[in-house]
Amino acid sequence: MAPATPISDDRGLPRAKPAPSATSEGAHLLAGALERYVRKVAEALEVPRDGISCEVTDTATAYIALGGRAVEYPGRDVMLAWSATRGWTVSIETDPAEPPIVLARSTGDVVPAPEAVARLVADSMTHRGVREFPAAGVQLMGWSDLAECMERHAPQTDD
């Protein structure tokens, strides 16, 4: 049997537990919260689960394939993407060599309510013409803070 880890140091003072790794614990918290939040956004858009993906690595991102077509680009697929640094972006699916075609971008809250995201998508799909986008006012947050914001819209359930 391996010796037990002492609960005090050589002076008899309580040994501090090592701080949890911000990367691993924060990533784990954010991964679950992001998945639930993206599912809620997809539900608001009536997109099935097989049309979504999200991941947390050194960055946190999500993707939702939208079924409709934008008025301005009737022959092109539309996507909704989220990143921890930019929030939501509605774009035309492009080839890798093609420059991005952005239809709309969320500003302000990096984790808006799913209904607000659905309105952003609806507005961008029906709008024609060149659109100016204000500089994104996204506040950078730690992953635990992002997870907490997402929990407000998509709380974890015990089922």
**In the chain, where are the structural domains located?**
25-151
The proportion of the chain whose per-residue pLDDT surpasses 70, expressed as a percent, equals 77
Rounded to an integer, the average pLDDT of 115-138 is 76
Residue 26 pLDDT > 60: yes
Residue 65 pLDDT > 90: yes
Angle of helix 22-45 relative to helix 114-126, nearest 10 degrees, comes to 60
106 compared with 41, residue with greater pLDDT: 41
Q: 108-142 as b/e, with b when 16 or more CB fall inside 10 Å? A: eebbbebebbbebbeebbeeeeeeeeeeeebeeee
Band the pLDDT of 103: cuts 50, 70, 90. Answer: very high
Residue 11 pLDDT > 60: no
Band the pLDDT of 50: cuts 50, 70, 90. Answer: very high
Rounded to an integer, the average pLDDT of 118-129 is 88
Rounded to an integer, the average pLDDT of 57-63 is 92
Task: For the chain, give the mean pLDDT.
Answer: 81
Band the pLDDT of 27: cuts 50, 70, 90. Answer: confident
- For position 6, what pLDDT does the model report? 43
Residue 38 pLDDT > 60: yes
52 near 106, Cβ under 8 Å? no
Provide the 10 A C-beta neighbour count for residue 37.
Answer: 26
Q: How far apart are CA 45 and CA 123, in angstroms?
A: 12
